Amino acid sequence: MIDSHDPDHLARFWCAVLGHVVVFRNDRMVAIAQDRNSHPGLGFIRNNSAKTTKNRVHFDLRPDDQAQEIDRLIGIGAQRVDIGQGNPSWVVMADPEGNEFCVLANWTD
């Protein structure tokens, strides 16, 4: 479960990132997964509290082409963020509500 100001919007973003679909929706939460029979999925629950610190859990994405994936993610609403990571081979990004995640370089890079 991921706290969210706008569960529908954040679920749509992560569906686009992961190729998932919405498998459940009510007025408080939205759940996504590969399909209705897949587990685990992600749930986005309405919470109007402000995000105040770095996430304790974050996703690492490992695309075939890091630069192309970063461009795609920016195009759907992600942004690069600096959390003091220096200059590693991965790129730290945030979803539309500021939740951090990393885009790693390919295994061969």
Burial of 21 (0-12, 13-18, 19+ CB in 10 A): middle
User: Does one domain contain both 41 and 83?
Assistant: no
Domain span including residue 24: 1-47
pLDDT value, residue 108: 59
pLDDT in tens, 31-60: 999 998 988 899 999 999 988 887 778 899
> What is the per-residue pLDDT across 12-30, written as a single tens digit (0 to 9) for each?
999 999 999 999 999 999 9
Tally of structural domains, the chain: 2
Q: Global pTM?
A: 0.88
CATH assignment at residue 103? 3.10.180.10
Pairing assessment for the beta strands 42-46 and 2-4 based on DSSP bridges? parallel
pLDDT of residue 16: 97
Instruction: Report yes or no on 90 lying in a domain.
Output: yes
Residue 52 domain flag: no
Assigned domain for 53 exists: no
Both tokens of 104, joined, read 């790693």
Q: How many CA atoms lie within 13 A of 53 on its CB side?
A: 3
Lowest mean pLDDT of 52-56, 79-83, 101-105, name the range.
52-56
Tokens of 94: 């945030």
